[in-house]
């Protein structure tokens, strides 16, 4: 199976779950807190990724619940729930991150990287719970993932890192 497609599918599932969460809580907009809570609620993928990246996923889940509890609520039927401004900004940042890496899909990792950089309150909350660009986010460097990559390119990435990503240089 294709891990890129699996990450993309996880992202779609997280967005659908975030929308359901916003609807259930009578929130008029889907906010980043809904998406993070949805990602943390998934059995596979993002929660393990957050733990591997050094984040405290249990405390982060509680913080997202608190953040969602403080969001505006709208009562009434026929309310259309749509992405909020902060979520749109994050999704654009995640798309830029994916494009920079040559990825066709916005995987969960790209969303989390954008979130770690976010200047909004939610960015501060996730950084406070350990989500940073210090490592653990990004594709696994497995033999399969590296197969077919030119040795000179791998050498350059290892020596010089990838600016704007969690990949630091080994050579100072």
* Other residues' Cβ atoms within 10 Å of the Cβ of residue 115: 23
Please tell me the distance from the alpha carbon of residue 170 to that of residue 55, in angstroms, as a whole number: 24
Bridge partners of 83? Answer: 30
Region class of 145: left (phi > 0), else alpha (psi between -120 and 50), else beta: alpha
pTM assigned to the model: 0.72
Contact 96, 106 (CB under 8 A): no
Contact 26, 74 (CB under 8 A): yes
The model's pLDDT over 103-159, given as tens digits with 9 standing for 90+, comes to 766 777 788 888 888 998 888 888 888 887 765 555 556 677 778 888 888 888 778
* pLDDT number for residue 1: 46
Lowest-confidence region among 19-23, 83-87, 91-95: 91-95
């Amino acid at each position: 199976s294709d891990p890129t497609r699996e990450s993309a599918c996880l992202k779609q599932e997280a967005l659908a779950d975030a929308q359901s969460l916003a609807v259930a809580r009578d929130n008029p907009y889907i906010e980043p807190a809904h998406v993070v809570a949805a990602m943390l609620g998934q059995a596979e993928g993002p929660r393990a990724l957050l733990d591997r990246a050094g984040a405290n996923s249990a405390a982060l889940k509680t913080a997202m619940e608190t953040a969602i509890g403080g969001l505006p609520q709208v009562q009434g039927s026929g309310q259309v729930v749509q992405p909020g401004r902060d979520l749109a900004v994050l999704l654009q940042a995640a798309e830029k991150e994916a494009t920079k890496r040559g990825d066709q899909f916005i995987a969960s990792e790209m969303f989390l990287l954008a979130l770690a950089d976010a200047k909004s309150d939610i960015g501060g909350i996730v950084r406070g719970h350990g989500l940073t660009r210090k490592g653990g986010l990004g594709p696994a460097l497995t033999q399969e993932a590296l197969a077919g990559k030119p040795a000179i390119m791998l050498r350059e990435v290892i020596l010089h890192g990838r600016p704007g990503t969690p990949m630091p240089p080994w050579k100072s």
